[in-house]
Amino acid sequence: MLKESVQKALNEIKPALEADGGSVELVEVNEQGVVKVRMTGACSGCPMGMQTLKLGIEKQLKQKVPGVTEVVRV
């Protein structure tokens, strides 16, 4: 159930990333609430990628999905 909630929240975040030519794909959600994602498109090589990941994606997921503890890039 956690994975489905995370995917739904990511789908809400994606349009903002896609507007800048990037995107994010869900790779895994483990029992500890760690979400693993793959940054794609312009996001994959962007120097601001880590800020987008932590201050954008992680912050949004923690607000929208109880149980998310961290978001990491793979």
Q: Which range has the worst mean pLDDT, 10-14, 37-41, 46-50, 57-61? A: 46-50
* Token pair in block for residue 37: 């994602």
Domain locations in the chain as residue ranges: 2-73
Question: Percentage of the chain surpassing pLDDT 90?
Answer: 88
Q: Is the pLDDT of residue 46 over 90?
A: no
* pLDDT at 9 (0 to 100): 97
Q: What does pLDDT average to over the chain? A: 95
Whole-angstrom distance, CA of residue 5 vs CA of residue 17: 19
pLDDT classification of 41: cutoffs 50, 70, 90:
very high
* pLDDT at 27 (0 to 100): 98
Q: How many CA atoms lie within 13 A of 63 on its CB side?
A: 10
We find that the CATH architecture of domain 2-73 is 2-Layer Sandwich (3.30)
